[in-house]
Structure 1
Amino acid sequence: MHIKYIKLLGLALSFSLAGCGIFGDKVEESKNWTAEKLYAEAKDELASGSYDRSVQLFEKLESRFPFGAYAQQAQLEIAYAHYKQGDQAQALAAVDRFIKLHPNHANVDYMYYLRGLINFNDDMGFFSFIANQDVTERDPKATRDSFDAFKELAVRFPNSKYTPDAIARMKYLVNALAQYDLHVAKYYLRRNAFVAAANRAQSAIKEYPDAPAVEEALVVLIKAYDGMGMVELRDDAKRVFTSNFPKSTLLETYGSKKAWWKFWS
């Protein structure tokens, strides 16, 4: 019995060691891969949505072959993988690192574009407002950062293939930022905080003079001045409004309609 037990124990141990060898080989399957092979496998993982695995392979590539085009491309792909994974902090860190290390790289324009995409935030639109959210609690920092990144791309690389899309996104972001200031101004106006309402309306008008929100921002400014009893400033704002929006009826009808989504509330 004792001998049989020893034999069985030895057999189990041999299987255990063999298993360790199998799994060890699996972990180190990329040990002898060339830079080209590592890059191809990492790209396949990225394309299939295996972002963690792709990052691991790109990092191995950069570590084993730190010099040359593959290492630089791996750094770029790592930033993109983090972006696709939704890891904003890691993605931005990877972008900043690439730009710092390779400011003259042929594809550095893409990294400026990616920086804008990472921060791009389109949740300041229609559904945020109809959901009756308090926009004063929303932080537009990411929106501003996105705008700045796209602007830097457009200035530095006006002929980049990414610049037209960046400019289109900038237009959206300008409107979103102006709309944000407008809704904050309206929030203060509804609460009779006229000084705060006037300041925020002025901010929208001054910072984003071509945005569609300026028309309503001027109306808020007029109402705020009226609430404070500042007749001259109110009348000056009215003249500016009439001059810029001669066909508008917004001033006469402002505040008279209830938002459609509140009809049943």
Structure 2
Amino acid sequence: MTAQRRPTPHSSIWNSSMRKTLLRAACMAALTFMLSGCGIIDYFYLPPPEDTAQELYESGNDAMREKDYVAAAQAYTRLKDNYPFSPYTIEAELSLADAYFLDEEYPAAAEAYKEFETLHPRHQAIPYVLYQVGMARLKSFISVDRPVNNVQEAYQYFQRLRESYPGTEYAAKAEEHMKECRRLLAERELFIADVYWRTGKYGAAWQRYSFVRDNFKDVPHAVEYATEKANVAYLRHREAQSENIREAREGSWKQWFKWL
């Protein structure tokens, strides 16, 4: 009968050391897997880091160069909202207004320029800002048969620019646009006067023509037309008044039909 071999002390120590090594390796593998798993979770489930103010500003400028004004406005708006105290914010606010203007979003552009003036009234770009508000309002004009509030506001901004910053290049440009505004306002008044004329309301027409004649002397063609029409409208108005007086005194021939 063969005796069983007893384990030697050296083999027992080796087995114990091996188990510890394997345990450490398993723990390291598990930890590595967990960390990599967190990275995967972060990658798929956590939002990406936000762009910096500089990145948003450069992105907006790139979009402006590519004439993608919608993307530019989005970048500048994000910069303005997320980084209100960034050194890039002031330029982004002005560039946002420019993006709206170039995209022909004139009401939004005018409001953005106005906001810039309110926030930075002493900024060196204010003459440009006033000019752009005027242009945005002027370009919002549609036709003389629609309200001309935009034209009136455009004239007011051009006038402010000329009076407050007379030596700037934008004041010189404003002069010509003020003339255009006056022409449009005169034509609006003539349009209304002509409507009264066509509908036989000669008294109202005469008043409108007279208003243009007296208040738009800087628009010669409007004054000439209004003067001629005012004279005729006045005569027809007086004739209509005389007819009304006669009918009131003698009765209208139309009343005879009531007896038939």
The alignment's TM-score, normalised by the length of structure 2, stands at 0.67
Q: Does 1:99 align with 2:130?
A: no
RMSD: 2.8
CA spacing shift, 1:122–1:73, aligned 2, 3 Å: closer
- 2:94–2:116: 8 Å Cα contact kept in structure 1? yes
The Cα of 1:204 is off from its aligned counterpart by: 1.4
Q: Does 1:178 align with 2:186?
A: yes
Q: Does 1:167 align with 2:175?
A: yes
- Which of 198, 202, 210 is matched with 1:202 structurally? 210
Structure 2 residue matching 1:226: 3-state secondary structure: helix
Structure 2 residue matching 1:229: 3-state secondary structure: helix
Q: Which amino acid aligns with 2:224?
A: E
The Cα of 1:24 is off from its aligned counterpart by: 5.7
Q: Distance in 2 between matches of 1:176 and 1:188?
A: 19
CA spacing shift, 1:205–1:68, aligned 2, 3 Å: farther
- 1:99–1:108: 8 Å Cα contact kept in structure 2? yes
Q: Distance in 1 between matches of 2:83 and 2:231?
A: 64
The alignment's TM-score, normalised by the length of structure 1, stands at 0.66
* Residue equivalent to 2:226: 217
Q: Distance in 2 between matches of 1:112 and 1:138?
A: 24
CA spacing shift, 1:170–1:21, aligned 2, 3 Å: farther
* Residue equivalent to 1:119: 137
* Residue equivalent to 1:229: 238
Q: Which amino acid aligns with 2:100?
A: H
Q: Deviations over 1:169-199 (max 9, x none)?
A: 1111111211221232122223221111111
Q: Distance in 2 between matches of 1:50 and 1:43?
A: 10
- Structure 2 unaligned regions, length at least 5: 1-36, 240-260
Q: Distance in 2 between matches of 1:207 and 1:159?
A: 28
- Which of 44, 56, 66 is matched with 1:38 structurally? 56
The Cα of 1:52 is off from its aligned counterpart by: 2.4
Query: Which contiguous aligned blocks of 4+ residues in structure 1 show a shift greater than 4 angstroms?
Result: 20-25
Q: Distance in 2 between matches of 1:209 and 1:198?
A: 17
Q: Distance in 1 between matches of 2:208 and 2:136?
A: 27
- Which of 118, 126, 140 is matched with 1:108 structurally? 126
The structure number with the bigger radius of gyration is 2
The Cα of 1:119 is off from its aligned counterpart by: 0.9
CA spacing shift, 1:167–1:21, aligned 2, 3 Å: farther
1:1-265 alignment, distance < 5 Å? 21=44, 25=48, 31-33=50-52, 35=54, 37-67=55-85, 69-121=87-139, 135=144, 137-212=145-220, 213-229=222-238
Q: Distance in 1 between matches of 2:89 and 2:216?
A: 42
- Structure 1 unaligned regions, length at least 5: 1-13, 129-134, 231-265
| 158-167 or 103-112, larger mean C-alpha shift | 158-167
Identity of aligned residues (%): 25
| Matched length | 200
CA spacing shift, 1:67–1:97, aligned 2, 3 Å: same
Q: Deviations over 1:11-56 (max 9, x none)?
A: xxx9xx89x749965xx5xx35352x43222111123222222122
Q: Which amino acid aligns with 2:181?
A: L
